[in-house]
Amino acid sequence: MQILATGTLTVKQRPRLQKLRRQAGFTLLEILAVIVIIGVTISFASLSLSSRAVDERLANEANRLQALLKLAADEAVVQGEEIGFLLASDGYAFYHLEENQWAAYAEGPLRERVLPDGLKLYLASDESEEFQIPLPEDDDKNSDSKKKKTLPQILLLSSGELTPFALELRADHLPVYYRAEGKITGQISLQRLEIKR
């Protein structure tokens, strides 16, 4: 067996080296199959995590809404003033009477809130019980500069009573939602419900 000075192999050593080369790496097909499997696994995991994240956001917003409604009801009693709740297309705000006008809270926990993307809040008033208080009248009815009046849909009174309501907080493409209900006696409850299909 001769080895040349250039380091080339003899005829007897070449087949053994070729066997080693064939077993040393992966084929392109094997690598592509592994990449596809990893991609499918990651996409399923991200879908699972994103729906869980939306569910947690929905639960957090529902709990925040209930806590703020209870806080507003307590503030109305403690401060001896009427507080209103106004639902907008992208969020909600609390109002109080200031110089016979409804004025929004500019700061503090009762300030205006914007709902996160993908969450929607719906109001369903209880039609079975009529509940109204006299709203302040505009002193300057013939004024040229009439301001757009903002009237709250839910009233939280200093007597501890409130306008009966049902607020539903929903998320796009999620089979559950939260329903906050208020009774005339001032009780506010929150339920997690499933969408019936």
**Which tens digits make up the pLDDT trace of 67-118?**
999 999 999 999 999 999 998 888 899 999 888 889 899 888 999 999 888 8
Q: Please report the pLDDT score of residue 46 as a whole number.
A: 66
Average pLDDT over residues 23-46: 80
Q: How far is CA 137 from CA 90, 133, 153, 155, in A?
A: 29, 12, 17, 17
Q: How far is CA 81 from CA 97, 117, 159, in A?
A: 7, 33, 9
| 3: pLDDT strictly greater than 80 | no
Q: Please report the pLDDT score of residue 57 as a whole number.
A: 87
Q: Please report the pLDDT score of residue 16 as a whole number.
A: 61
Give me the half-sphere count of Cα atoms (radius 13 Å) on the Cβ side of residue 193.
Answer: 14
| 36: pLDDT strictly greater than 80 | yes
Q: How far is CA 46 from CA 38, 39, 42, 52, 173, in A?
A: 12, 11, 6, 10, 16
| 129: pLDDT strictly greater than 50 | no
- Distance (Å, whole) CA 12 – CA 47: 57
Matching residue, tokens 């809130």: 113
Q: Please report the pLDDT score of residue 197 as a whole number.
A: 66
| 141: pLDDT strictly greater than 50 | no
Q: What is the pTM of this model?
A: 0.64
Q: Which of residues 132 and 188 earns the better pLDDT score? A: 188
Q: Sign of torsion, CA 121 127 130 132?
A: positive
Average pLDDT over residues 139-162: 69
